Structure 1
Amino acid sequence: MPDFCSSPAPLPRRILGSALLLGLFTTGCARQHFFQPDARVPDSAAQAAVGPDSARVTAGRHYRRGAPGRLFFGRHYREVWAQPVTLPVLNLQTAAPGGLQPGKVGGGFQTTSMTLNGPGGRTYALRSLDKDPYKTLSKFLRHTFALNVVRDATSAGTPYGAFVVPPLAEAAGVLHTTPRPFYIRSDENGLGKASERFRGKVVLLEEKYESKENLGPAFGPGAVDLMESDDALAEIYQNPQHRFDQPAFLRARLLDLWLGDWDRHEGQWDWVAVQQPEGPTIYRPIPIDRDQVFFRFDDGLISWLVSKAVRKFRTFGPEYQSIGGYTRNARFIDSRALNEQTRRQYLSTAAALQQRLTDEVIERAARRLPPEVYRLEGPHLVAALKARRDALPRAAAEFYRRHAEEVVVPGTDAAERFVVERRNDTLTVVSVYGGEKARTLLYQRGFRPAETKLVLLHGLGGKDVFELAGNVRRSPRIDIYGGPGEDTVVDSSRVAGLRRMTRFYDTKRNSVADPAPELKIKTESGVTTHAFDRDGSGR
């Protein structure tokens, strides 16, 4: 389901306008019974043929539409949602080693979800394949045709795409979950208070990687903890001995790009903390929630118009339609976990993925689709993945170009020394030092003004020092955000022909910055400049 909004707030005007247009071809009010009452196919002979431990089901036969509906709204994956397949019936005693017990019910806006508890503190996620965006709409729109329109857009995602990803991620060297599909009986009572909400649904079950109880050999030596993004970010920005595994994150993000997975915001990642024998603790990414892989949206007249207004709603195919659209939702986490990576590293990582993602790997992964679904979509999926693999270096180069335009370089809550060397007209080097007497190199990268227009330095906590030097004609602009500690800026640099290529944002108290030709001091009484916000700009 397209992520029209991240909270139950009114939709953006451009989406509402598109929804109103769509409404010309729909009924005036929301359908009272939109979803299939039970995923089981009402065919007793078909059910008897698969035995008591399996069921013949459809993921969502309510997405079927006639020729006019497909013309205006798009073919999407309607055939796949309505295609009967055979799935195992969920048995809590055998679905995981040691059995499962009901846990906390999830609070997602679209997906029915809950946590299941296994032995030894291990936890598992259970969630429906189908979605209901009812809560994402304003109270007014929940009772209009707009609800039908937004519900129908769920068919742009394929219900079985997440099951194709694990062997591809494994081949790419990216950590992954291993989801499995199940059907939940219409008389299921083993899920506690949530039983009624799950009855008759097709669901996904996977192990959760949010706490150290779920650690295992797959995470390699030195793995000490598992956590969500909020906790990983807090650790990384509190202590300079905690860092992102940026090469691993780049590999994961290029895999996302290849899969057309556009919904990769920070909530879509877990992290494994790995203690290195002699060095910092690094945080390796684990992509989760593969709901939007192989997305297909712009294949109807009206949905094509919507895709032009909202760049992230791109259709998966042999070509990369929009690198900006594919990566928009992940700008926050990308700006923090990729800020060391160079163009050479982007291209070399893409080349390595090309070697790893062989034809055999792709074809084997596609066979994880239910056989009936493979006959509908398998050959097209395989051909698209092969074509996108061959074009991956070009996509990676464009991905890098976008990231290089504006780069965020944060410190931590400890004291650091930021050194900016404007060495010549084609190279500015930014280094960050920490530890005792700020002598340990924590970060270093060269920036070329042809690629990078702005570098943002965030001191965060601690007594930070910012030093700038060099006499050049061209250089990226440097914006400095001191943070809550006592901060000092010393700027002896010059950029000929341009003025004020260094800007310092901080409070009037606890900051020292002597006037200099390139330095524009923008202090204020409030503390808004201390915010290391979602945009990574502090502005």
Structure 2
Amino acid sequence: MSDSSPMRLPRRFVCFCLLPALLLGSSCARLRFFQPDARLSAEPLPAGTDSVTATAGRHYQQGLVKRLLFGQHYRRVWATPVRMPVLDLGTAVAGGLRPGKIGGGFQTTSMTLLGTRNREFALRSLDKDPFKTLPKAMRETFLLNIVRDATSAGNPYGAFVVPPLAQAAGIRHTSPRLFYVRPDENGLGPASERFRGKVVMLEEKLEGEQLPGSGGGRVDIEESEDMLAALYTQPGTQIDQTTFVRARLLDIWLGDWDRHEGQWTWEKRADGPRFSPVPKDRDQVFYRFDDGPLAWLGSRFVAKFRTFRPRYESIEGYTRNARFIDSRVLHELDWPAYRAETQRLQQRLTDSVITRAARRLPREVYAIEGPQLVASLQARRAALPTAARTYYQLLAERVTVPGTDEDELFEVQRLTDTTTVVSVYSLLDDKKGPLRYRRTFRPAETRQVMLHGLGGKDVFRLTGSVRRSPRIDIYGGPQEDTVQDSSRVAGLGKKTRFYDTRRNNVYEPGPETKDKRSHGVASHAFDRDGSGR
């Protein structure tokens, strides 16, 4: 997970974790929870040693009661001795590396390393410590032991499997590499002590950098908040939604449930501008959580903690963390687009691609997990159309259609009992300008469409007479807006609602319009970047 965005533990999960404390008796947090050195031997490491045998986290294998109650998870993988190279800053990448900024991670020990030609690399420990994610009052209690132990539900080497799969899918990706940091390492500056004796991954950063573009050009990489700011303030900004839905389907196939907006960067091209998704941080692929009685109960409390297995579990759970970014980016595509990208993935993710990717696990780990992983990925590939349909239906039920801070015309045409077309145009000198958005909604799929005018003087025009239609909620925004509703929908309940202030608006209601205006400005609030503001 992104070090800049900590995983906030749900209250229900915290309550669930308190149960074992009551069962096993109250206790304090273990002072020495983590292994002191990833190597099995405590002997000094000779100078010039280029590889060692180490474990990602053999401390997760301890405790029979814990394994019985919470499950085996990936404890065996964490404790398996793996042969891996020793990090040498002079030779790890061409031109060598030097220390940069120390990361402020909430769980992962991390820092930036600087290479030649302004290249930046992220150095991160495979193991995590969720100490800072807990309320301060709980950080010295038995609960910390339990939450720390939950790290064993993740496959420490899972991220190394993803690059060939992303490559085949046509998704930008990083290529992490596995290293061990010497117990006497001093080349990492002030962060040296934090990394000594740890198993780490090293990958080139794609944040705020430039990547080689097609045709030999360069493309900028921006964070989600910058992409979203451009989307709402710069008319003509476009998102490559088809690539994003393919990337999200890849996430679901991999069982990667932690794909919130902080887990994405965006490739920006000058023509438009146009943004294409670049995922990062693959810490939660192939998650295995509910293989013990208490862990199974916890997964019922917290839907996103779903186990990777041949069949899909809760698609809603897999996608819950990404609900905000999905709603902002995938608001235009209909089911045929999802179906086409699903078929494209099935064609590209061949058995040979899957097998080659699984072989990127350390040899010792592949012997334990490889065949099972390959079989699960093949089974999930076959079932991907059903999972994709469920995913589409979740997003289609309630759709947010935002405008920009410029003047716009929102047209809602209730054409038939099965089709309602929503279009958004630029308004230039009060005249209809270029089309910015269009989608056909069907009441069998969509219950509610929320139109947000944001800034600018916007016009909302609704027409048509039908028996069925999605409900249209209009949020005008802080400037003067106009609502013209001549539509009619048979049956009980009004199908158009207007939320705004009572002053400074032109309000021309029809039989379907329900006046939800108020004296306050709460209706002007719109979360632009996922912060909840």
Q: Aligned match of 1:167 in 164, 171, 193?
A: 164
Contact 2:224 2:529 in 1 (8 A): no
* Amino acid in structure 2 at the alignment position of 1:119: T
Contact 2:177 2:202 in 1 (8 A): yes
Q: Which stretch shifts more, 291-300 or 223-232? A: 223-232
* Amino acid in structure 2 at the alignment position of 1:385: L
**Aligned CA distance change for structure 1 residues 51 and 102 (closer, same or farther; 3 Å):** closer
Find the aligned partners of 1:534 and 1:236 in 2 and give their Cα distance: 9
* Amino acid in structure 2 at the alignment position of 1:240: P
* Runs of 4+, deviation exceeding 4 Å: 5-9, 219-223, 534-539
The equivalent of 1:525 in structure 2 is 519
Aligned-residue identity in percent: 64
**Aligned CA distance change for structure 1 residues 435 and 113 (closer, same or farther; 3 Å):** farther
The equivalent of 1:61 in structure 2 is 58
Contact 2:342 2:385 in 1 (8 A): yes
Find the aligned partners of 2:426 and 2:92 in 1 and give their Cα distance: 48
Matched, 1:258 2:257: no
> 3-state DSSP class of the match of 2:253?
helix
Number of aligned residues: 530
Tell me the CA shift for residue 109 of structure 1. 1.1
* Amino acid in structure 2 at the alignment position of 1:508: R
Q: Which digits, 9 at most, give the CA deviation of each residue in 1:130-149, with x for residues without a partner?
A: 10011111112111110000
The equivalent of 1:349 in structure 2 is 341
Structural mapping, 1:21-100, within 5 Å: 21-23=19-21, 24-25=23-24, 28-42=27-41, 52-100=49-97
Structural mapping, 1:67-466, within 5 Å: 67-212=64-209, 214-217=210-213, 224-276=219-271, 280-434=272-426, 436=428, 437-466=431-460
Contact 2:168 2:349 in 1 (8 A): yes
**Aligned CA distance change for structure 1 residues 222 and 290 (closer, same or farther; 3 Å):** same
Tell me the CA shift for residue 43 of structure 1. 7.0
The equivalent of 1:502 in structure 2 is 496
Contact 1:72 1:301 in 2 (8 A): yes
Q: Which stretch shifts more, 119-128 or 29-38? A: 119-128
Find the aligned partners of 2:352 and 2:281 in 1 and give their Cα distance: 25
Contact 2:2 2:263 in 1 (8 A): no
Tell me the CA shift for residue 25 of structure 1. 3.3
* Amino acid in structure 1 at the alignment position of 2:310: P
Find the aligned partners of 2:2 and 2:190 in 1 and give their Cα distance: 29
Q: Aligned match of 2:14 in 1, 10, 16?
A: 16
Q: Which stretch shifts more, 408-417 or 17-26? A: 17-26
Contact 1:452 1:476 in 2 (8 A): yes
Q: Which stretch shifts more, 252-261 or 185-194? A: 185-194
> 3-state DSSP class of the match of 1:340?
coil
Find the aligned partners of 2:199 and 2:215 in 1 and give their Cα distance: 33
Q: Which digits, 9 at most, give the CA deviation of each residue in 1:479-531, with x for residues without a partner?
A: 11112232111111111123321111122343221232111222233332222
RMSD: 2.4
* Amino acid in structure 2 at the alignment position of 1:413: D
Q: Which digits, 9 at most, give the CA deviation of each residue in 1:461-487, with x for residues without a partner?
A: 111111100011110000111122321
Q: Which digits, 9 at most, give the CA deviation of each residue in 1:423-482, with x for residues without a partner?
A: 011100001112643321111110000110000111111111111000111100001111
Gaps of 5+ in 1: none
Tell me the CA shift for residue 65 of structure 1. 3.0
**Aligned CA distance change for structure 1 residues 42 and 326 (closer, same or farther; 3 Å):** same
Contact 1:312 1:325 in 2 (8 A): yes
> 3-state DSSP class of the match of 1:86?
strand
Q: Which stretch shifts more, 85-94 or 331-340? A: 85-94
Contact 1:416 1:464 in 2 (8 A): yes
Find the aligned partners of 1:227 and 1:244 in 2 and give their Cα distance: 13
Find the aligned partners of 2:255 and 2:507 in 1 and give their Cα distance: 46
Contact 1:222 1:274 in 2 (8 A): no
**Aligned CA distance change for structure 1 residues 406 and 32 (closer, same or farther; 3 Å):** same
